[in-house]
């Protein structure tokens, strides 16, 4: 073969190679296919490779809003009108056996707002313990009617 023939063959081969590379690159960087409308079914794109066919995303089921059942409750203002601190104030539902501490460490002359859960009834037995070792009991207190508890001497 002559030198001219080899050079032209090399030239043609490089042009063909460059065309193949450019075509492969452009096939990989095709323009994105517009997303289908939310209610429209996915339609195949003509002459597109299988990877370019839009796939409908599975719809997520709407999540139910979690509605936490909130136990009925009452807001009560507890005032310590005694000269000693309240160590603990417990509330036991009337007829119940499990007391729940609603106030602890309340200084003399101070007041606090507390929320008391009222499952079946608003009637409670209250037991207060004080820093000096004394205690007090109040039975059948309806916290829904009287939302103020005043601890006195």
Q: How confident is the model over 29-68, as pLDDT tens digits?
A: 556 666 655 555 555 555 655 555 667 777 777 766 666 6
Q: What is the pLDDT of residue 53?
A: 60
Q: Please give the structure tokens belonging to residue 128.
A: 């207060």
Q: Please give the structure tokens belonging to residue 29.
A: 């960087």
Per DSSP, 1 falls in state -
pTM value > 0.85: no
CB 136, CB 151: distance < 8 Å: yes
Domain boundaries of the chain, sorted by first residue = 73-151
Those residues of the chain that have pLDDT short of 70 are 1-54, 63-70
Topology classification of domain 73-151: Immunoglobulin-like (2.60.40)
CB 124, CB 132: distance < 8 Å: no
Please, what sign has the CA dihedral across residues 15, 19, 25, 29? positive
């Amino acid at each position: 073969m002559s030198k001219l023939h080899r050079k032209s063959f090399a030239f043609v081969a490089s042009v063909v190679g460059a065309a193949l590379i450019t075509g492969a690159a452009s096939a990989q960087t095709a323009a994105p296919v517009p997303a289908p409308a939310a209610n429209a079914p996915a339609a195949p794109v003509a002459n597109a490779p299988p990877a370019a066919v839009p796939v409908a995303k599975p719809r997520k089921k709407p999540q139910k809003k979690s509605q936490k059942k909130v136990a009925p409750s009452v807001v009560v203002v507890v005032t310590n009108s005694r000269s000693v601190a309240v160590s603990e104030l417990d509330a036991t539902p009337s007829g119940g056996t499990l007391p729940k501490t609603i106030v602890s460490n309340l200084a003399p002359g101070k007041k606090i707002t507390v929320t008391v859960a009222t499952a079946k009834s608003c009637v409670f037995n209250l037991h207060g313990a004080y820093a000096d070792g004394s205690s007090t009991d109040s039975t059948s207190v309806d916290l829904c009617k009287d939302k103020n508890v005043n601890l006195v001497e």
